[in-house]
Amino acid sequence: MPEEKGEISSGNSSEVERRALRLLVFREHSRAELCGKLKLKGATPELAERVLDSLEAQNALNDRRFTEAYIAVRQARGFGPIRIRQELMEKGVAGELIQECLMESDPHWDWVLQQAARRRFGACPVTSYQEWAKRVRFLEYRGFSLAVIKRVLVSGWEFATDVASD
């Protein structure tokens, strides 16, 4: 369908809505993310907003549903709440909604952290401070706070108990 790859003719709301629905078929989008994609294809800001209002009224577009799905996928891939929150903010989701959904998801962040560490490093014990620091940096990059990392992993990494007391 070559017309799908081209620009949206301005003023054609059915074309804008068709494009938006086509994007939503593949995966959930935040309102801001979808609005940006429609504008890139040539939709006027007013037309894009009007179409997005219509899609929200039909429940085809829902920021809460997008946020909950995004959190679930990123948790399953071993990412922590700090990283997930930042990514959702970049996608234009409101901070209050992100916080609500993170609290409602009620994950066991300790378990998510342990699984991420186990997948990346296996059961290999820490043999040096440099190795311990490398693991901590990886987990911080994944979106876990230093306090959570220390609480969960100091007991699991024998060397970490010696390092943590320094």
Separation between Cα atoms, residue 52 and residue 64, nearest integer Å: 15
3, pLDDT greater than 50:
no
Token pair of 158 as six digits:
């024998």
54-92: pLDDT as tens digits: 999 999 999 999 999 999 999 999 999 999 999 999 999
| CA 141 to the chain's CA centroid | 14
The pTM score is: 0.82
* Residue 163, pLDDT score: 43
What structural domains does the chain harbor? 2-57 (1.10.10), 63-105 (1.10.10), 109-164 (no CATH)
Give the per-residue SS3 of 68-136.
HHHHHHHHHCCCCHHHHHHHHHHCCCCHHHHHHHHHHHCCCHHHHHHHHHHHHHCCCCCCCHHHHHHHH
